[in-house]
Amino acid sequence: DTGVSQDPRHKITKRGQNVTFRCDPISEHNRLYWYRQTLGQGPEFLTYFQNEAQLEKSRLLSDRFSAERPKGSFSTLEIQRTEQGDSAMYLCASSRTMGTQYFGPGTRLTVL
Amino acid sequence: GQQVMQIPQYQHVQEGEDFTTYCNSSTTLSNIQWYKQRPGGHPVFLIQLVKSGEVKKQKRLTFQFGEAKKNSSLHITATQTTDVGTYFCAGLGGGSNYKLTFGKGTLLTVNP
């Protein structure tokens, strides 16, 4: 399978814990995006990488959130001191420059 | 900021009936994209519309982009049970060539 992959698919954590998610984009895609989706809503843009450079961060991304794409390939999204309001599906997408965004299966986070 | 509204939020039809979802942006878009998300799944790209007044067809699906490039619609003829899912429009605009703004989606259910 050469699509976007995400790991883990599900994560249950207690409030206050840190969590980290991984995204592996389609190999030739230089752009990588993180979105968050809650029930009954469309995906909301969180952040965007062009190769290894993080070029935009949404206001939704508080200082507890950090994303990296160290070698311009896979990316990680870390949430520190999780809160119940962080419970959501975290979606990763990738694309070529100006190309269609292809989404991964998502990581469903539940904060107890 | 840019907002994308989508109606209706839900639509339940009998198999064989037609279905339409409408999308309206607060700002002029450079393009609009449509995605389908099956229950428990992730958004899957359907199509992209770029030109004012553009109409594209995919089998029973017809997509339109308004003359002012602020609204769009998706029409499904003779729905089938396989059409079940949430249909999202996502606009690209506001000077960004990568940041998609999604509508809340229309959840389509089909009674066999």
Cα separations in angstroms, B73 against A87, A91, B32, B58: 31, 25, 10, 13
Q: Do A42 and B45 touch (CB under 8 A)?
A: no
Identify the pLDDT of residue B19.
98
Shortest Cα–Cα distance, B42 to chain A (Å): 5
Shortest Cα–Cα distance, B54 to chain A (Å): 18
Under 8 Å between Cβ of B97 and A98: yes
Nearest to B82 by CA among B61, B103, B99, B65: B61
What burial class does residue A40 get, using C-beta atoms within 10 Å of its C-beta: 0-12 exposed, 13-18 middle, 19+ buried? exposed
Q: Label residue A88 by pLDDT band (50, 70, 90).
A: very high
User: A91 to chain B: which residues are within 8 Å by CB?
Assistant: 42-43
Say how far apart CA A34 and CA A13 lie, in whole Å: 20
Identify the pLDDT of residue A59.
87
Say how far apart CA B81 and CA B44 lie, in whole Å: 17
Q: Is B31 on the interface with A (CB under 8 A)?
A: no
Identify the pLDDT of residue A98.
79
Q: Which residue has the tokens 């390939």?
A: A73
**Strand order across the beta sheet in which B4-7 lies:** B4-7, B19-25, B71-76, B61-65, B55-58
The mean predicted confidence, pLDDT, of chain B is: 95
Under 8 Å between Cβ of B7 and B21: yes
Identify the pLDDT of residue B96.
79
User: A31 to chain B: which residues are within 8 Å by CB?
Assistant: 98
Identify the pLDDT of residue A60.
82
Q: Is B8 on the interface with A (CB under 8 A)?
A: no
Q: Is the confidence at residue B28, as pLDDT, over 60?
A: yes
Q: What is the pLDDT of residues A24-62, one digit of tens each?
A: 999 989 999 999 999 999 999 999 999 999 998 998 888
Identify the pLDDT of residue A112.
96
Q: Is the confidence at residue B10, as pLDDT, over 80?
A: yes
Q: Label residue B2 by pLDDT band (50, 70, 90).
A: confident
User: B103 to chain A: which residues are within 8 Å by CB?
Assistant: 42
Q: What is the pLDDT of residues B40-85, one digit of tens each?
A: 999 999 999 999 999 999 999 999 999 999 999 999 999 999 999 9
Q: Label residue A97 by pLDDT band (50, 70, 90).
A: confident
Q: Label residue A80 by pLDDT band (50, 70, 90).
A: very high
